[in-house]
Copies of this chain bind each other. A is one copy, B any other.
Amino acid sequence: MKKYGETVRRIREQKGYTLQQLSSGILSVSFLSKFERGESDISLGHITHLLEKLSITFEEFFYLHDGVGLEQLDYFFDKAKEAYVNRDLKQLRELREIALDQWKTHGLETFRYNLFMLDVYESIIDDRMIQPQNDTLDFLYAYLFDVEVWGYYELSLYNSTMYLMPHEMVMKLSQIVFEKRVRYGDFKKFDKVVISILMNTLTYMLAGPNLYREQYKVFLGYLESLRIPEDDLYTRNSLLQIKGNYEIKMGDREKGIEMVKKAISIYTELGSKELAATAENYLHIVLGEIK
């Protein structure tokens, strides 16, 4: 593995700074030189100050270091989702290998959940509707119910496994997510996942029996209380679509169809063909079901 110091050197040289300039006020020239040559590690406090001075974020730093653009976590979830969307069993199994390996070496439950998520995807693709070992699911429930603070990991994990859980469980957990959401004030990434979870919850509930009507309204209220940014047109349009489908289910067929068609037409007009097709497809399912 390449040393972090070498990356710092590259950046420093690109910015045209001398060792003296960069180190001043933070640490000694001699040590910075040593670190850059890969002959020493560096303390967290010091590297923080260096990057600050270089006007570079940690995220960018790691990217420049090893070319992995997304941070480890996003990377894992994105890869998994990508493999799932592409029905790429081979890649899924590769990821599974990695996760299994991590679980074995570290022995922490976290990695077990990753494993579980991959199993879920795999079983869906394979169309053998195996509820993968039920005890794993139970572990997952236990974990999510116990978690005091829903970090980005837990949110992502839940977001990608909720489709495997029964309705009541999803409603309870989504409820918890919404309530604990407050803590992540101005961290946009968090808001995005939370919104995504609520949207998925609504979609999921649409697919279920009608008795969730009340719950549906509650979650819709939650979502609208979150004030979706003006420029997040995608979420706004998805919401329009969901609301339309809901109206259809509730009996107001014409109004619902109109709303969904409107959402589809927006996708079409902006050239997002895939999304338009998916929405169209879903509309047919809903219409077929209700007939």
A58 with B67, Cβ < 8 A, contacts A44-B41, A262-B269 known:
no
Query: Do A72 and B57 touch (CB < 8 A)?
Result: yes
Identical chains in the assembly: 2
Of residues 42 to 56 in A, which have CB atoms within 8 Å of B's CB atoms? Answer: 42-47, 52-56
Query: Do B233 and A237 touch (CB < 8 A)?
Result: yes
Q: Which of B17, B45, B146, B233 contacts A266 (CB 8 A)?
A: B233
**Stretch from A104-112, A199-207, A208-216, A249-257 forming part of the interface with B:** A104-112
On chain B, the residues within 8 Å of A186 by CB distance are 69-70
On chain B, the residues within 8 Å of A221 by CB distance are none
A136 touches B (CB below 8 Å): no
**Stretch from A85-93, A127-135, A270-278, A280-288 forming part of the interface with B:** A270-278
On chain B, the residues within 8 Å of A234 by CB distance are 231-234
In the bound assembly, the distance between CA atoms of A230 and B275 in angstroms comes to: 7
Kindly provide the distance from the CB of A63 to the nearest chain B CB, expressed in whole angstroms: 5
Query: Do B59 and A58 touch (CB < 8 A)?
Result: yes
A73 with B57, Cβ < 8 A, contacts A44-B47, A47-B44, A236-B270 known:
yes
Query: Do A188 and B230 touch (CB < 8 A)?
Result: no
Which partner residue on chain B sits nearest A16 by CB separation?
Answer: B146
Interface membership of chain A positions 105-147, coded 1 if the CB is closer than 8 angstroms to chain B and 0 otherwise: 1111010000000000000000000000000000000000011
Query: Do A60 and B236 touch (CB < 8 A)?
Result: no
